[in-house]
Structure 1
Amino acid sequence: MQRLVTAELDLDLGSSVDLIFQITAAQQVPVVSEELTFTQGERVYTPTEIVDQSGSRLHRLMGEAGRLEVRYRATVEGQMAASRTSDLEAITYLRPSRYCQSDEVFSQARRQFKGLHGYELIAAVSDFVATSTTYTPGLSQGTDSAVTTLMTGQGVCRDYAHVVIALLRAMDMPARYAACFAPGLRPMDFHAVAEAYHDGAWYVIDATRLANRRSLVRIATGRDAADCAFLSYHGGYVGLARMRVDAAVLPDDVSGEGLQTQPVRAEASDPAADDPASLVQLS
């Protein structure tokens, strides 16, 4: 399966500012071609790339006052190879974190999912969050946590992921946050999902049901949204003047088979074609 992903950001910088981006496909993703540019008028910035322990790629630069244009475009083909999870990593994803306070939802999780383990637990938590939360763009705040979302019953993809992660951790199942490109997502944006560690593998949970998990492209992985922000900055003012994200599944480039590949392309990017009860690993 071949996917095309793009991101465009126009930033207004008020002064010299330290910028850190996470908008590219992760290190392990099978990228066929890729272009990332940072321009300001005639000036072209060369960022420093930093790869964290999970393979997330951070691009850092010191921007100057003015309009900074960020452009990213990549073609991805196939699935990334699964990497081994260390004992330390699994322990890290069992602990409470800033937006996933598994200690605060411990009692609720233990009452609601008592006796469930493994696949049954993953399915039950996914269904609970999907049915108890309403997708409401623009109403949740960037500081909302899993506890906030459980109380309000509304949020966006990051909020759904935080609730899933907090509940799974409270049930002693390692869980983590993943930012990704999502073909077929509406409204199109950077997307967020949860991953649960079961029987030696990570399985993706998208309780929003707004994307087909088989076509997702990983950007960043972490404890929660604080580890996976598409932009963080220090030391100055930054205004987001424009942002456009897109992702699509491309037809296979095989002569004479175009009519056959079109249905495959449509299904791979159709959220309705994804059975939420199935176990899927994020590419």
Structure 2
Amino acid sequence: MKLSIEAELVYNFAADTQVIANLEASRTTDQIILSESLDIQPPARFLSDTTSHGERSIRASLSGDVTIRYVALVENNLRRLLPQSGLQHVWSELPSEVLPFLLPSRFCPSDKFMRFAQREFSSAGDGVARIMAILEWIHRHVDSVAGASDAQTTAEQTFVDRAGVCREFTHLGITLTRALGIPARAVSAYALELNPPDFHAIFEVYIEDSWWLIDPTRLAPIEGIVRIGSGRDASDIAFLTSDKQCQVIRQTINISRTP
């Protein structure tokens, strides 16, 4: 599947605001970037960073009204879906770089959910069956409600409130998965068929020696996902981080399928 992406962010920045932006599709084994362009107006110098896993970001100092525009054509026919069955790894089998995603993080206090997760999901079956049981529980117990949460909402609060947007669904899914001893990490993405179009937060789990993408909201097909970045939780994958407050003037995201 070829996906066309257009993202335009228009912000007002205070003088000399330091910015880190995560907008570019990552260069990973399950998606190929056929073409892309990144433009900042008025023109500004920026530094590009790439992780060892192909995730990319830019750093810049911006001021005044600024437009950041990213356009890309991405092929993701290599995307694999979560298998129907699969065992979770014992920790001694995991690669060292996966281990941090077993631990509690700022928005995902998995240590507080170990008793609940074990009682609710450990008898479901193998690793994949447990993950599917978690997703079904979230689907039955958490409502998608805009405005029911904010940037400080944790999975613990979502568990109580039972409402939120993609960010909260993802944090709760990660928390419950880690509480079962399965590595899980947050993923920022562009998503086909997401309504209204926006940046999307999903997560992935480590099963059968691979990371597998999951959308706990069920709002976008995994085949139509384009990865941007990954991390412990939303604090690692924000599309824009600044050292001063900034004002959103306009933000437009368009994703479409192309022949």
TM-score normalised by length of structure 1: 0.82
Query: 2:122 is paired with a residue of what secondary structure?
Result: coil
Name 1:203's counterpart in structure 2: 212
Counterpart CA distance in 2 for 1:80 and 1:227 is 25
Identity across the alignment (%): 31
- Partner residue, 2:68: 70
The residue aligned with 2:103 is: 95
Alpha-carbon offset, residue 12 of structure 1 = 0.5
Q: Which amino acid aligns with 2:100?
A: T
SS at match of 1:104: helix
Q: How many residues align?
A: 244
Q: Which of these residues, 130, 135, 157, is aligned with residue 139 of structure 2?
A: 130
Residue 228 of structure 2: SS of its match in structure 1? strand
Post-superposition Cα deviations, 1:176-205, rounded to whole Å, max 9, x if no partner, equal 111100011011100011111111111222
Secondary structure of the residue aligned to 2:192 is coil
Q: Which residue is 1:176 aligned to?
A: 185
Aligned-pair CA distance for 1:115 = 2.5
Query: 1:215-250 deviations in whole A, cap 9, x for unaligned?
Result: 10000111111000000011x331111101111111
User: Alpha carbon RMSD of aligned pairs, Å?
Assistant: 1.7
Which residue does the alignment assign to 1:57? 56
TM-score by length of 2: 0.90
Letter in 2 for 1:37: D
Paired amino acid for 1:21? A
Distance, in Å, in 1 between the alignment partners of 2:113 and 2:183 is 15
Alpha-carbon separation, structure 2, partners of 1:20 and 1:27:
18
Deviation for aligned residue 1:55: 2.5
Which runs of no fewer than 5 residues in structure 1 stay unpaired? 253-283
Post-superposition CA distance 1:35-86 (Å, at most 9, x none): 101112xxx113111113443211110113x10011010001234589xx97
1:249 is paired with a residue whose SS is strand
Give 1:155's aligned residue. 164
> Where does 1:94-113 land on structure 2 (aligned, <5 Å)?
94-113=102-121
Q: Give the structure 1 partner of residue 86 of structure 2.
A: none
1:34 match: 36
Amino acid at match of 2:206: Y
Deviation readout 1:86-121 (Å, 9 max, x if unpaired): 712221110111111100111111111132331111
Deviation >3 Å, runs of 4+: 78-82
Task: Write out aligned runs for 1:72-87 (5 A).
Answer: 72-79=70-77, 87=95
Which residue of structure 1 aligns with residue 247 of structure 2? 239
Equivalent residues of 2:2, 2:73 under 8 A apart? yes
Match of 1:225 in 2: 234
Does structure 1 retain, via aligned residues, the 8 Å contact 2:38–2:69?
Answer: yes
Q: Deviations over 1:10-35 (max 9, x none)?
A: 11012111011001101224111101
Higher relative strand content: 2
Report the AA paired with residue 75 of structure 2: E
d(CA) in 1 for partners of 2:2, 2:122: 41
Change (3 A) 1:76 1:122: same
Distance 1:139 1:187 in 2: 17
Q: 1:133 to 1:248 in 2, by over 3 A?
A: same
SS of residue in 2 equivalent to 1:184: coil
Seen in structure 2, the aligned counterparts of structure 1 residues 128 and 81 have a Cα distance that, compared at 3 Å, is: closer
Give 1:139 deviation, angstroms.
Answer: 2.1
* More displaced stretch, 224-233 vs 53-62: 53-62
Q: Is the 8 A contact 1:27 1:51 kept in 2?
A: no
